[in-house]
Amino acid sequence: MLKRISCFLLSILFFACAQKQDVVKKERFFWPPPPNEPKVEFIGAYRGNRDLPQKTSFLKKITGETDPEIKLRKPLHIASDGEGLVVVTDLMPYGGLIFDFNENKVELVTNEPSFQFATGVVFDRDKLYIADGKAGNIKVFTKKERKPLYTIGDGELESPNGLAINEKLNWLYVVDTKAHKVYVYDLLTKKLIFSFGRPGDQEGEFNRPWGICIDKNGDVYIADGLNARVQIFNKDGKFISMFGRRGDKPGGFAQVKGIGIDSDNNIYVIDPLKAIQVFDRQGQLLGLVGAPGTKGIGAMSLPMGMYIDKSDRIYVVDQMNRRFQVFQYMNEEYKKKYPVDFGEKTK
C-alpha cells in the first residue's frame, strides 16, 4: 500500500515538473501614457490579505481550507516605513490594518478596540503614531510589536488628522481639522512647541485642513481642505506661498485631502471628486495620475490619504473601492533599474 502511494506521489511530482512553464511578461501602466515620457508607474492595488502571495500548506491545498479574510472597510489615511510595512487607518476600532510586504501578511494594528476614530498615521525609526480624531490625541506604539507606549496632545487637540514628522528636528506636525490649526510637538519631550493657523481664507488661515507632508528642506505643505488650495510654510510655521483654485477643470479643486511630495519636489494633491493632480511649487499643473471610477487600472472612487516614501513609492487610499493603490514616481534611479521599452505593450 505504501509503495503504491509513493509511486502515485512521484508520478504527481514528475507530471508537475514536466509541465511547460510559460513566462508571462507583465503589462505595465504609466502616466502619461506613451509616446509621452512616462513619469509614474502603477504598481498594484490591495484590499486585504487575499491580495498578497499566500503560503498554503500541502494539507490546506488538499482540504481547500483558507485563512480568514482580513480586508479594509472604510480606509482613510496611509503611511509606509519604506521597508515593507504599510499602515492603513480604518473606521474599525482597532485602528486599521498593517500590511507586511516582507512576510506577505495582514494584521490588525492592535488587538484591543482602543480607537474611537483612527485618522492620520506616520512612522519614525522605531515607533508608529496614529491620530484618534475623536479622542483628541496621538496614540504611540512600538513599530514592530505595536505595543502601546503613550499618547500625545491630550487636552490640546480637538480633531487631529494628518501627521508628518521632521526627522532631523524630531518634531511631530499634527493637522487639527476642526481647530483649523497645525500643532507641533517635540517627540523627545512629548510637549507642544508651537502652533500656527486660524480659521479663514487669507494667507496662513485654514478651512478644515486635512493632509500634510514635509519636503527634504523641512518646508511644510498643508492641504487646506475647503479652501481648495495648498499652503506652504517653513519649519517654524511661517507662511511662504500657496497655490490652487476652485474649479472643475484640470488644475482646479472642489476640495483637497491627501498630499505628498517626491524627491524632485513634484507635489501630488488629491481631490476626492477627481484623482491625483501633480504640480510644481509655483502651482503649475504638471500632469494627472489615475481617474475617477471603480473599474480599470488607476480608477479611484473618493481617494483620501496619501503618502510618498523616500524611494518615491506613492501610496493612495481609494476609499469607496475599499483599497489602497501603489504607484512609483520614475526617478532616474528607478528608470535605470526598470527601463521602459516603448515596443512593449504599455498603457
| Cα dist from 229 to 219, 254, 313, whole Å | 16, 9, 24
Residue 333 CB contacts under 8 Å (≥ 6 apart), including other chains: none
**Interacting residues of 258 by C-beta distance below 8 A, sequence separation 6+:** 77, 210, 211, 223, 268, 269, 270, 303, 304, 305, 306, 307, 316, 317
Averages of pLDDT over runs of 10 residues in the chain (347 residues) are 39 33 69 92 96 72 73 97 97 95 96 95 97 98 96 98 98 98 98 98 98 97 98 98 94 96 98 95 96 95 97 98 98 95 56
In this structure, are residues 270 and 276 in contact, taking their beta carbons and an 8 Å threshold? yes
Under 8 Å between Cβ of 243 and 282? yes
What's this model's pTM, rounded to 2 decimal places? 0.89
3-state secondary structure the chain: CHHHHHHHHHHHHHHHHHCCCCCCCCCECEECCCCCCCCEEEEEEECEHHHCCCCCCHHHHHHCCCCCCCECCCEEEEEECCCCEEEEEECCCCCEEEEECCCCEEEECCCCCCCCCEEEEEECCCEEEEEECCCCEEEEEECCCCCEEEEECCCCCCCEEEEEEECCCCEEEEEECCCCEEEEEECCCCCEEEEECCECCCCCCECCCCCEEECCCCCEEEEEHHHCEEEEECCCCCEEEEECEECCCCCEECCCCCEEECCCCCEEEECCCCCEEEECCCCCEEEEECEECCCCCCEECCEEEEEECCCCEEEEEEHHHCEEEEEEECCHHHHHHCCCCCCCCEC
pLDDT score, position 34: 85
Q: What is the pLDDT of residue 35?
A: 87
pLDDT at 343: 57
Q: How far apart are CA 217 and CA 125, in angstroms?
A: 19
Q: In this predicted structure, what is the pLDDT of residue 20?
A: 39
Cell of 320: 469607496
